[in-house]
Chains A and B, each alone.
Chain A
């Protein structure tokens, strides 16, 4: 089955930039989506189709996709950005939806 790998944790100082990487075999051929999940809440879509943001998501959240990695960048980090972040793709070979292993972002 298809696997998406993320670093378990990322720390960032307030006002600085956090970068979360998502890796997977031939991920360059897939569209990557990103979700934010705060404790006790449902996930929220923050980036879809590699780089697009849903309405209401601040432009501090940006996605980038190149080669074998996808990246979510959180600029000018705020305390409210502390959460778990998951990447996700659709694997056409299995017709399955796959989530990454998740990254806990801490704003120190």
Chain B
């Protein structure tokens, strides 16, 4: 069955860096574009970034553009999110999700990122 397992969430100081990972299994990873979606405490989900199945095309929410980098390693069935210069407002649970015709088909269970000094 489809499984998405996020890791790498931690407490990080503002301005430092953190890399999140999402290990995929149970489906053909190379056939799917992938997303990162986050959810701040008590708030609704917010789309963060999208990467095409081949890793060539990348799209970002305005709130993270220029600071976060989405990437993937298809040989390892793994999706990444490099968070550079995080801010306190980036505190959230970060989910990876598969893309299916412009919606989020399957989700991982999320990893918590807390940005605090």
Q: Bound pair: A and B?
A: yes
- A1 vs chain B, min Cβ distance (A): 7
Query: Judging by beta carbons under 8 Å apart, are A96 and B61 in contact?
Result: yes
Query: Judging by beta carbons under 8 Å apart, are B50 and A101 in contact?
Result: no
Chain B residues in 8 Å Cβ range of A108: none
Interface size on B, residues (CB 8 A): 21
Secondary structure type dominating chain A contacts: strand
Interface size on A, residues (CB 8 A): 26
A88 within 8 A of B: yes
Query: Judging by beta carbons under 8 Å apart, are B100 and A48 in contact?
Result: yes
Query: Judging by beta carbons under 8 Å apart, are A99 and B61 in contact?
Result: no
B45 within 8 A of A: yes
- Stretch from A18-26, A37-45, A64-72 contacting the other chain: A37-45
- Stretch from B11-19, B20-28, B81-89, B102-110 contacting the other chain: B102-110
Alpha-carbon distance between A43 and B44 when the two chains are bound, in angstroms: 10
Alpha-carbon distance between A98 and B104 when the two chains are bound, in angstroms: 11
Alpha-carbon distance between A16 and B107 when the two chains are bound, in angstroms: 30
Within 8 A of A (CB), among B4-45: 35, 44-45
Residues of B within 8 A of A (CB): 35, 44-47, 50, 59, 61-62, 95, 100-110
